[in-house]
């Protein structure tokens, strides 16, 4: 139907206007279409260049501003997350690729468990330590940004999709892919909701420090994780290596992984 209408429009311009006028009008139509078209994740078969990956990481470079900790150090995906600050407090952990890192350096280190995690100070290092305790001889590639696998803005979704598609094209050394976000108020989700936590959005009590979140919030977070995993086509990219997980935290440095996604219905934030 759309194609037929476009062909009719072409014929109209050919008859009524000269070629130059027709070309300009038709060009403007397609410019308008491109302006409103949402970015889509790259196809798994499309080869991603390392320069695209470096640019994609830069999309998240201001994430510390979301949580008002702009001076926190950055880490790269092959380093242990930030430890305690000089005052003894846990720190947020945003991973970026250093400008001087080459593709050869990146691929040489791309081995072991790939983790996509929120950069939250109560998640990043505790989760890393838990995985390291359970897999002491296995390297961990730790990708962390605000929201982890759960992203709601088009530019961020496209950037993360570019990174994950590239890694999938060089996954020979990757043994497991753990796609996560956490309960107990994800700051990025709260940011997207305009300052309202997901628990408040659901009408349940926000958990206190040392307590576990209500099951309503946990179920909603698992639905968001599942929906984002579908968007990024993680099952197609990584097949049996993929494991979805909700990081269950208490804001005291403790973390457990809930990997039961058998009956989870994928949902967007707008569905709640």
Which pTM does this prediction carry? 0.84
**Cβ distance 223 to 266 under 8 Å?**
yes
CA 148 to chain centre: 5
What is the number of domains present in the chain?
A: 2
pLDDT > 90: percent of the chain: 83
Rounded distance between C-alpha atoms, residue 116 and residue 244, angstroms: 10
Residues 86 and 16 in one domain: no
Q: Residues 31, 96: one domain?
A: no
Same domain, 33 and 57: no
Ramachandran region of residue 194, left (φ > 0), alpha (ψ -120 to 50) or beta? left
Domain match, 115 and 2 both: no
* Residues 126 and 249 placed together within one structural domain of the fold: yes
Could you give the 3-state DSSP secondary structure of residue 208? coil
> Which residues of 38-122 form beta strands (DSSP E)?
112-118
Average pLDDT of span 183-211: 96
Question: Average pLDDT over the chain, rounded to whole?
Answer: 89
3-state SS of the chain is: CHHHHHHHHHHHHHHHCCHHHHHHHHHHHHHHHHHHCCCCCCCCCCCCCHHHHHHHHHCCCCHHHHCCCCCCCCECCCCCCCCCCCCCCCCCCCECCCCCCCHHHHHHHCCEEEEEEECCCCCHHHHHHHHHHHCCCCCEEEEEECCCCCCCCHHHHHHHHHHHHHHHCCCCCEEEEEEEEECCCCHHHHHHCCCCCHHHHHCCCCCCCCCCCCHHHHHHHHHHHHHHHHHCCHHHHHHHHEEEEEEEECCCCCEEEECCCCCCCCCCHHHC
Mean pLDDT for the stretch of residues 67-78: 96
| One domain, residues 29 and 59 | no
> Do 9 and 126 reside in the same domain of the chain?
no
Residues in the chain: 272
Question: Are 2 and 46 part of one and the same domain?
Answer: no
What's the number of CA atoms in the CB half-sphere (13 Å) around residue 25?
Answer: 14
pLDDT band at 157 (very low <50, low <70, confident <90, very high): very high
Higher pLDDT, 6 or 43: 43
Range of the domain at 30: 1-37
What digits encode the pLDDT tens for the residues 88-108? 999 999 999 999 999 999 999
The answer to whether the CB of 232 falls within 8 A of the CB of 242 is: no
Same-domain status, 139 and 22 = no
Verify that 118 and 162 share a domain, yes or no.
yes
The verdict on 117 and 194 lying in the same domain is yes
For residue 73, pLDDT over 90 is answered with: yes
pLDDT digits (tens, 9 = 90+) for 210-245: 999 999 999 999 999 999 999 999 999 999 999 999
- Pair 195, 118 in one domain: yes
């Amino acid at each position: 139907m759309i194609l037929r209408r476009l062909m009719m429009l072409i014929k109209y311009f050919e008859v009524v206007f000269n070629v130059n006028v027709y070309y300009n009008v038709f060009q403007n139509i397609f410019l308008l279409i491109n302006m409103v078209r949402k970015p889509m994740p790259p196809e798994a078969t499309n080869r991603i260049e390392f320069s695209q990956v470096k640019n994609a990481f830069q999309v998240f470079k201001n994430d510390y501003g979301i949580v008002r900790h702009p001076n926190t150090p950055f880490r790269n995906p092959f380093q242990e997350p930030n430890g305690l600050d000089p005052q003894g407090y846990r720190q947020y952990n945003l991973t970026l690729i250093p400008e001087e890192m080459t593709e050869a350096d990146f691929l040489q280190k791309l081995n072991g468990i790939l983790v996509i995690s929120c950069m939250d100070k109560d998640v990043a290092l505790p989760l890393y330590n838990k995985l390291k305790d359970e897999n002491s001889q296995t390297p961990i590639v730790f990708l962390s940004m605000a929201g982890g696998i759960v992203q709601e803005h088009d530019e961020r979704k496209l950037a993360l999709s570019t990174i994950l598609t590239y890694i999938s094209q060089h996954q020979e050394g990757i043994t497991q892919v753990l796609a996560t976000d956490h309960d107990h108020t994800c700051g990025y989700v709260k940011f997207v909701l305009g300052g309202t936590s997901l628990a408040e959005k659901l009408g349940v009590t926000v958990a206190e420090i040392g307590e576990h979140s209500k099951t309503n919030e946990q179920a909603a977070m698992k639905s968001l994780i599942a929906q984002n995993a579908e968007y990024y086509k993680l099952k197609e990219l990584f097949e049996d290596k993929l494991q979805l997980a909700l990081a269950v935290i208490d804001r005291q440095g403790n973390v457990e992984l809930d990997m039961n996604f058998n009956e989870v219905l994928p949902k967007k934030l707008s569905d709640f």
